[in-house]
Amino acid sequence: MVRNIGLLKSIDMTEDEFRAHVAGKIKEARKNNGESQQDLADIVGCSRKKISQIESEQTSISAYLLYKITLYYNIDIDSVFHEIDGLYEDKKKRKKMERYRKLYND
């Protein structure tokens, strides 16, 4: 079994940031398809309240429900996580720029 402890330790995204990213993707897909939260809930077999809580970042989504939603909207689940990698890289760049600004402004 291959383990990637170094990569795991390098993740600089909080669970809240992850939840916000996934919530945004779900809400965007649902709205782009002109569906209500109730429509999506009926299709994937959960309550409208659950969809609302996920989209408003009040709760995390289960892997199973995320899989069902990405399957329904024909979203490549890998793309959701690759976008997170991109967000992580942007965050690293911003932090680096902040450090440079502090050095040169002090």
Q: Tens of pLDDT along 19-61?
A: 888 899 999 999 999 999 999 999 999 999 999 999 999 999 9
Residue 5: inside a domain: no
pLDDT band at 87 (very low <50, low <70, confident <90, very high): low
20 within some domain:
yes
Residue 29 · residue 73 · CB < 8 Å: yes
- What domain count does the chain have? 1
Q: Does residue 78 sit within a domain?
A: yes
> Residue 79's domain is classified under what CATH number?
1.10.260.40
How many Å apart are CA 28 and CA 13, to the nearest integer?
Answer: 21
Provide the mean pLDDT of the chain: 81
| Full residue range of the structural domain in which residue 95 is found | 14-105
Determine, yes or no, domain membership for 61.
yes
Establish if 7 belongs to a structural domain.
Answer: no
DSSP-derived secondary structure letter, 62: P
Question: Is residue 8 included in any domain, yes or no?
Answer: no
Give domain status of residue 98, yes or no: yes
- Tokens matching residue 8: 């795991």
